[in-house]
Structure 1
Amino acid sequence: MNRVFYPQGIFAIFFLSMMLLLVGCGQSNEPEELYLEGKTMGTTYHIKVFADSEKLATLDLQAEITQLLKEINQSMSTYIDDSEINNFNRLSAGEIMPISADFRAVVAESIRLGESTKTLDVTMGPLIDLWGFGPDKKPTNRPSDEVLADMLARIGVDKLVLTEQGLAKTVAGLELSFSATAKGYGIDKVAELLESHQLTNYMVEIGGELRVSGVKPDNISWKIAIEQPDTEPGVRKVHRVLEPGTNGIATSGDYRIFYTMDGITYSHLLDPRTGMPSRYDLVSVTVLHPSAMTADGLATALTIMGMEKAQHYAQQHDLAVYLIAKSDDGLVTYSSPAFKPYL
């Protein structure tokens, strides 16, 4: 069953509109602003670059970025029949498939995050299918405990074998889905491309996840808005504004994507430890990290952990995270020690 890259950061439009408001144009004597946009990974991208006009005139960044993202999509999109990820998903157990450098980078970080967090699992494709998630991301039925137990025994990053020769699976039917890491990787690759041209003042956004570097004209810092999660449907307000420095930024949350089944309200995120949709208290998780891919994966993993375990994990690993959780007394927030300097 094909799965598209849907925006894991559910604030894509909100973040983008806030950024366009906050990063307004410079004066005539300031560096030129280049703005690029397009479609990739089942979503959209938006890029801002500030640089000398003569330097920008020597480059065709739109063409370079389009080709770069096309190659990443060809590697990691399950909507392309002959993509690298689909070729692996069709692979038999025990076979080793040589993989590209891009694919290796995403697999390696996905395995690392999966082993570290226990709540991010890029092999959950069959579990997602089992729940019957459709285009609206709502399940049609609840699998029995026996069926869930059998499925959990057949998925997990521990069933991936990454070697110098390539990638293999130890159980038949194991599938990969990079919806929590591929967008961030695409952002990182675009950032690397810009920096290869000595462009260091930029903002790259794909599907609501971001990476910013340097400053705007007049040495003004980039500013990014975190959305207030308890607003009425269709209403979007700013919760906090942060100055992320040079970092990737990812936000995950469940307060706008949830459903009720058998009288129980569930998140759209599945917990790989139980096979069930998450029912924890976190409604918004924002992560800052030099790698947008790592921030992307961590935002999802921490959301599934819940407030208490997410706090502990952030402190243990010295992560810059901002958490918003629901409680009987309303919303409560937490900013890790590593996050506070950015507020």
Structure 2
Amino acid sequence: MKYRNFLHIITFFVFPVLIITACESGKSEKKTNENYRYISGDAQGTTYSITYLDSANTKFSKAVADSILDNFDMSLSVWRENSTISKFNRVDSMEITDKLFLTVFFRGREIENRTNGAFQPMIMPLVRAWGFSTEGAHPKGDLNTDSLMAMVHTPLRVLPADTSAERQRNAFIIQKKPGQQIDVNGIAQGFSVDVIADFLRDRGVRDFMIEIGGEVLANGLNDKGELWRIGIDKPVDLDEERELQAIAKVDNRAIATSGSYRKYYMNNGKRYSHTIDPETGKPVDHQLLSTTVLAPNATNADGFATAFMVMGVEKSKEFVEDNPDLMLDIYLIYGEGDSLNTYMSKGLKEILEEI
């Protein structure tokens, strides 16, 4: 689904530093110190890794993890032509009973409403127009997007499939205008992390770390008896060596980073970010380079990180302060002239260390 990974896991097993995408791109399942187990593999167009204390002998395995994540792909991956979301994007009306799709669909609408549209699941026509889609980046230069804005901002019609109480909860007919398409990449990967976390919790697992494509949820302690330490990348171009900007100690929280500094293209000397502002219909053009969000769940961490990259520095600060019920913390990296500046919300003061 996404090719985004700005987080590192630090002091992970016996390795001093593990870069998630580079070091564990293969598939593996192994037992580590005592009853800690480690699973890794490929999913959703990226990689995943899961570490957990298996004191209850849960029988959780790589095969189980792969099965859960494959179900996600069959539901929410725009890279699969036979997925629910791909089928939906090809038609104007569809009855949907897919629980994964419906959950992510309604969660996306909630975040859209909370952010006044900065998070916009209907952004796909603009993403495609600017050259960021399954076909890869195709530089377009400046576009007139007026005709596409109506597709993005026309509300979908959502109806219960029938009048029975049970069906109202589990089946909906969703209708859209020709050309409208939905893109849930901004939260689907985070939601998949939450589903696996719930799977482990339901089986009595309390110490674990789940990472899928850079979205992380950590709970309890690692195999050294310490809080999980998650590294945040310094915003550098793809051709530069990766290095850490900060390290956060995470317990019973999710962490996600979204950035504008890796996925972009140059056209006639101008840089075009993959982050599209739904209000203007154009790639964002501000100084915010990277947004890291800590939240109670990975769905919100993922979705609000996406929204804040649209909002920019000041609006993101204001949003976190004005919405304490969401229990969000943010770490922003932004350019100012030739220098990099950072901002961290007060909840990170004791758990985040800048390097």
Q: TM-score range, shorter-chain basis?
A: 0.7 to 0.9
Query: What are the residue-to-residue correspondences of 1:308-327 with 2, within 5 Å?
Result: 308-318=314-324, 319-327=328-336
Aligned to 1:152: 149
Q: Are the structure 2 counterparts of residues 22 and 191 from structure 1 closer, same or farther at C-alpha, using a change threshold of 3 Å?
A: farther
1:301 matched to which residue of 2?
307
Q: How many residues align?
A: 326
Secondary structure in structure 2 of the residue aligned to 1:215? coil
Letter in 2 for 1:69: L
Aligned counterpart, 1:6 = 2
TM superposition shift of 1:259: 2.7
The alignment yields a C-alpha RMSD, in angstroms, of 2.6
Q: TM-score, normalised by structure 2?
A: 0.84
Deviations 1:308-328 (A, max 9, x none): 111111211232111111001
Q: Percent identity, aligned pairs only?
A: 29
Question: Aligned-pair distance for 1:143?
Answer: 5.5
In the superposition, the TM-score normalised over structure 1's length comes to: 0.86
Give unmatched runs, 5+ long, in structure 1: none
Is the 1:254–1:284 Cα contact (8 Å) retained in structure 2? yes
Q: How does 1:192-207 map to 2 (within 5 A)?
A: 192-207=198-213
Change (3 A) 1:155 1:135: closer
Question: Which residue type is aligned with residue 220 of structure 1?
Answer: E
Structure 1 residues 79 and 264: alpha-carbon distance in aligned structure 2, compared to 1, 3 A threshold: closer
Gaps of 5+ in 2: 19-30, 161-167
SS of residue paired to 2:147: helix
Check the 8 A contact 1:114/1:157 in 2, yes or no. no
Pairwise CA distance, 1:96: 4.7
Amino acid aligned to 1:81? E
Instruction: Choose which of 184, 196, 209 in structure 2 pairs with 1:190.
Output: 196
Amino acid at match of 1:121: Q
**What SS is found at the alignment partner of 1:236?**
coil
- State the partner residue of 2:140: 141
Counterpart Cα distance in 1 of 2:154 and 2:107: 11
Distance 1:74 1:168 in 2: 18
| Amino acid aligned to 2:102 | R
Check the 8 A contact 1:40/1:69 in 2, yes or no: yes
**8 A contact 1:245–1:342 mirrored in 2:** no
User: 1:67: which partner in 2?
Assistant: 67
Distance in 1 (alpha carbons) for counterparts of 2:192 and 2:266: 34
Contact 1:126 1:175 in 2 (8 A): yes
Aligned-partner Cα distance in 1 for 2:157–2:308: 22
Tell me which residue corresponds to 1:212: 218
Alignment of 1:48-197 (within 5 A): 48-52=51-55, 55-56=56-57, 59-92=59-92, 95-117=93-115, 118-133=117-132, 137-142=136-141, 144-145=143-144, 148-156=145-153, 158-159=155-156, 161=158, 163=160, 164=168, 165-197=171-203
CA–CA distance in structure 1, aligned partners of residues 263 and 213 of structure 2: 16
The letter of the residue matching 1:100 is D
User: What secondary structure, in the 3-state scheme, does the structure 1 residue paired with 2:347 have?
Assistant: coil
Distance in 2, Cα, partners of 1:220 & 1:226: 18
Relative distance call for 1:87 and 1:231 in structure 2 (3 A) is closer
CA distance in 2, matches of 1:182, 1:44: 14
Assess, with a 3 A threshold, how the Cα gap between structure 1 residues 255 and 239 changes in structure 2: closer, same or farther. same
Whole-angstrom CA distance in 2 between matches of 1:225 and 1:100:
35
1:22-63 CA-partner distances (Å, limit 9, x unpaired): 699xxx9974220101111111111111232xx33x614222
Q: Secondary structure of 2:276's match?
A: coil
Residues 60 and 259 from structure 1, CA distance in 2 versus in 1: closer, same or farther, beyond 3 angstroms? Answer: closer
